[in-house]
Amino acid sequence: MTDLETSVAAPRAPAPRRAAPALLGYAAVRALGLVVLAGWSAARGKNAYTLLTARWDSLWYTRVAELGYGYEVRLPNGDVHSNLAFFPLLPWLERLLHALAPLSYADAGFTVSLLASLAAAWGVFAVTDLVYGSRAGVCAVLVWAVLPVGIVQSMAYSESLFTALAAWSLYAVLTGRWVTAGMLAALAGLTRPVGLAVVAAVWTAGVVSFVRERGRGARHGGTDQPTGAHLDERAPEASGAARARRAPRATGAPVAAHAPLGTAPGTTPGSPVRRRALGMLLAPVGTAAYVLWVGHRTGRGPLGYLDVQAGWRNGFDGGYAFARFVADKFTSFPSAAAGAGLILGVGLLLWLYVTGVRQRQPLPLLVYTGVVLALALCASSYFGSKPRLLMPAFPVLLPLARALARLRTSRSALVTAGVAVASAIYGAFWLNGSGPP
């Protein structure tokens, strides 16, 4: 069972110097991917920068930034592709940067994505460092960077921006910064529909904290006691966790302390109640505001956004369409291998998630990851986009990061370098072929 009492001990944000190895490694992986993409594209007579900034969803975002909402494409089969399907934060930032600097909207989108990808890498490091230590944090960033579709992190898409906001919101939850967590969750909700996953993490953590504090108040006669007092009552288990906080971090070993979820050390459990409630109220504001605005604009009420998504053939069917897509792969021999690969890939994701549960990841990470996986795998959207839709689920990679962190430095560097080269080649091949829709 996941230890629902788990909360991480250190409330401080990791300094840039502490995160520097992770950020430098991330920048190196992304630079390799861009160099390979440039060479591959040139050999095929294509422009790599155009692939990154002016194709597929990038065009929809820049059109929103330049012209606003209201553009749509009607297909011969009757489908209506409306730009209302695209959440507004990335276009807003593109418009702001275009106004402040001599950049085109495409250039602005590329710049936002590059900066957001670094912020996302730092956030992934911050969360992992907090839970498992700095070595695992570096490995988590590198594993996230070398994903097969990692090249999307350098595109004028919203995945990097969303992951940055989600990671730092989760970090804020784990360290008891409830208002910050709520504000970042609201911004994540203005970035992608999967912002619901961040909201779910904030709300679950908040509700669990409220329930625990009421239970403690009842046990102690309604008297709030400092967090340290509760730790002392959990001997010997809690005293070991407290020692782990003070001791140097062992490679790949969890450093979480058993404290009230989201309560920073040195505070009384009852003191952040109002901030926690405010953070929980703020969290869904972004998603709710945009969905309600779309409903008002379309004249279809609160469900108007679902109608917009239906025009793109997007919906939630519990995974039925995806299961049929995989099953259809086995109707011929050449495509059967692809079907088997899809099954193995989904099985690997589920195994990693279950491993995270067994390794007692903090509850907010498990809730966030579970919702991202469910929304990606159980949606009836274009199936080729599912790998990039899964990219924000970085906590599912933490078991791999811990395993990599246990290797000797030379061996882990060799493994990472090899996978980075393979990822760069695949990314170049992918974008020069069908690419992400």
Please tell me the predicted confidence (pLDDT) of residue 267.
40
Checking if the pLDDT of 240 tops 70, the result is: no
Dihedral sign for Cα 193, 198, 201, 206, please. negative
Please tell me the predicted confidence (pLDDT) of residue 220.
64
pLDDT digit string, tens, across residues 396-410:
999 999 999 999 999
> The whole model's pTM is what?
0.87
Checking if the pLDDT of 226 tops 50, the result is: no
CA separation for the pair 36, 47 (Å, rounded): 12
pLDDT digit string, tens, across residues 345-361:
999 999 999 999 999 99
pLDDT digit string, tens, across residues 81-107:
999 999 999 999 999 999 999 999 999
DSSP SS3 for 162 = helix
Please tell me the predicted confidence (pLDDT) of residue 239.
33
User: Both tokens of residue 42?
Assistant: 């040139």
> Token match 């011969």: residue?
76
CA separation for the pair 259, 265 (Å, rounded): 8
Q: Minimum mean pLDDT among 53-67, 181-195, 310-324: which range? A: 310-324
Nearest one of 171, 118, 170 to 145, comparing CA atoms: 118
Checking if the pLDDT of 270 tops 70, the result is: no
User: Both tokens of residue 381?
Assistant: 């959207």
